[in-house]
Amino acid sequence: MSGAATRPAFITGGSSGIGLELARQLAARGHPVAVFARDPGRLRRAVEILPELSTYECDVGDAPAVEAAVGRAIAELGPPGWAIANAGVAEPGLFLEQPAVTHETHMRVNYMGALHFARACAPAMPDGARLVFVSSGAAFFGIYGYGAYAPSKFALRGLAEVLRVELAPRGISVTLAYPPDTETPMLAAEARTKSEATRKITAGGGVWQPADVARLILKRAERGRFAVAPGAQMTALLWLHSLLAPALRRWQAGIVRRSGR
């Protein structure tokens, strides 16, 4: 058995949302699936939904904990043919109004968490394996009200770009996904704290279902695609974000003025 063929799939943030749907679809294809998350209650609920899951409790921001959890998974299931860094946090808020610890938390989970996971998995991944990072449309341009979240996703994009070239000689493909708003617990939590201006700015792309996003990520990753941008809006941003950035800044400024914030 080589490559990603029916080798194990390791997924952080796999206890809910897009991560759980990725786990469901990979399990349906015959892959043993290990999910990593810090909330034991969510892990238990994930197993109730997918009894075949192997679960590992760890905080992705804690490098030794990630290394230990991934090591246990490799010992029990074997080296991963898929490693998907999906864990993340998103707390909308203005840059000057959020404390430094909020910015640090976003970088610790969204960026360092993915980095720790990649460092733990990559040495054991075989030729033909796939490493996937789940980023966000917020990695394309600065969005009003995402002062802590967007920079962490920009950083993740940079990491994926580097690993794309560094891991290629080992036969490991790297994919970076930019999901649009997706109906997940995280999106529901964001909605409770978004400002009116941020709500209007982010409302245009509609809301996707986790199953559709997961299906597209897996399909494109299997084809060796680096970037996955579901939907017309994300695709346009993928290819044209540098050209569109000035117009998008002016558009956001107008919304902020009209919203009074």
In a domain, 223, yes or no: yes
Please say whether the beta carbons of 28 and 2 come within 8 A: no
pTM for the structure as a whole: 0.87
In a domain, 4, yes or no: no
Closest CA to 23 of 58, 59, 47: 47
Predicted confidence band at 229 (pLDDT cuts at 50, 70, 90)? confident
What digits encode the pLDDT tens for the residues 128-185?
A: 999 999 999 888 877 889 999 999 999 999 999 899 999 999 999 999 999 888 888 7
In a domain, 81, yes or no: yes
CA distance 70 to 85: 12
Catalytic residue among 136, 146, 153, 173: 153
Query: For residue 230, what pLDDT is reported?
Result: 66
Domain count, the chain: 1
User: Is the torsion defined by CA of 69, 224, 123, 178 positive or negative?
Assistant: negative
The domain of 160 spans: 9-259
CATH code for the domain in which residue 167 is found: 3.40.50.720
CA distance 12 to 38: 9
Q: Is the pLDDT of residue 122 over 60?
A: yes
Task: Strands of the chain (E only): list them.
Answer: 9-12, 33-37, 54-57, 82-85, 130-134, 173-177, 227-228
CA distance 246 to 259: 20
Catalytic residue among 15, 16, 135, 173: 135
Catalytic residue among 56, 111, 144, 149: 149
149 given a catalytic annotation: yes
Cα 73 to chain centroid distance, Å, stands at 20
List beta partners, residue 177.
134, 228
Angle, vertex CA 250, rays to CA 249 and CA 253, nearest 5: 85
Average pLDDT score over the chain:
89
135 given a catalytic annotation: yes
153 given a catalytic annotation: yes
